[in-house]
Amino acid sequence: MKRSAPSELLALALSLALAWLPVQAQAAPAQSGFKHYITDQLEVPVRRGPGFNYKIINLLKSGTPVTVLEVNDKGWARIQFTWKGKIRQGWMPARLLSNQPVARMQLKTLQQKNAELNARVQQLQQQQQQLHAELDDTRKQLGEAQKKLFTLRKDYTHLKQVSGHAVALDEENQKLKTHLRDLEQENAMLKEQIAHSEDAVKRQWFLTGAGVLLLGLLLGRFMRAPRRRSSWSSDL
């Protein structure tokens, strides 16, 4: 691309002015093989060779990323950059390169990070509010659970006392059942003895009655009066 003489003179004057500008304190020396950025200048000329006498082939805006291929002993850096989708190479003073993005890009990055942090802070605040609400609900539930636990403990103490009485009653009941079983067995034995006694009495009475009857028959037999003879039989 051909330029008019006044344009080339203006570009040359701009290059000379940029060459004498002080280097930023935070900018490190350009190193080959690493990505660098055009410093905070409006436009920086890129030349065909390492010197101001070489023709300008491009004007790179501030913040344009470039790759440093080499740096010669005179402080000129051969760079590689993308121009309208094509990869090109050229030379420029290494002092005009910085290994950090320019302030404008850093500001944009910081603003983006700040926006992300603000969004994250808002999200955390919402989570904190939600957690506070959940904490309040948990505290309420804990209070209710403690009340229920107190009531259950009272009920448990009462049931323990009642169960203690119930155990004593059960033991006494078992003793009474055992005593009742013994009495039932003794009563059955007495009934059996009474039944045997009644049978013996009945047999005794039967034998006694039979003896009395027999005795009466015998007495009647022996104590009967002699029969008188008739008169006609005596006359004979």
* φ and ψ of 91, to 5 deg: -125, 145
Count of the separate structural domains present in the chain: 1
pTM of the model: 0.33
Asked if residue 23 is part of any domain, the answer here is yes
Asked if residue 106 is part of any domain, the answer here is no
Residue whose C-alpha is closest to residue 60's, from 33, 30, 36: 36
> Containing domain of residue 19, as a range?
5-101
* φ and ψ of 191, to 5 deg: -60, -40
Report the DSSP beta bridge partners of residue 83.
Answer: 86
Q: Which residues, 6+ apart, have CB-to-CB distance to 115 below 8 Å?
A: none
Q: What is the CATH number of the domain that holds 13?
A: 2.30.30.40
Q: Which residues, 6+ apart, have CB-to-CB distance to 122 below 8 Å?
A: none
Residue 10 scores a pLDDT above 60 = no
Q: Convert the pLDDT of each residue in 161-211 to its tens digit.
A: 777 777 777 788 888 888 888 888 888 888 888 887 777 777 788 788 887
Tell me if 46 sits within 8 A of 91, measured CB to CB.
yes
Asked if residue 85 is part of any domain, the answer here is yes
Which amino acid would we find at residue 194? I
Q: How far is CA 182 from CA 34, 62, 73, 161, 192, in A?
A: 110, 117, 126, 32, 15
Q: Convert the pLDDT of each residue in 22-44 to its tens digit.
A: 333 344 555 666 666 555 556 88
Residue 86 scores a pLDDT above 70 = yes
The mean per-residue pLDDT over the stretch 142-163 comes to: 84
Tell me if 38 sits within 8 A of 61, measured CB to CB.
yes
Asked if residue 32 is part of any domain, the answer here is yes
Asked if residue 172 is part of any domain, the answer here is no
Asked if residue 16 is part of any domain, the answer here is yes
- CB-side exposure of 235: number of CA atoms within 13 Å? 3
Q: Convert the pLDDT of each residue in 89-133 to its tens digit.
A: 999 999 888 777 655 555 666 677 778 888 888 888 888 988 989
Distance CA 179, CA 214 (A): 52
Helix (H, G, I), strand (E, B) or coil at 11: helix
Extract the tokens encoding 30.
């350009």
What pLDDT does residue 23 have?
37
Tell me if 69 sits within 8 A of 8, measured CB to CB.
no
What pLDDT does residue 231 have?
53
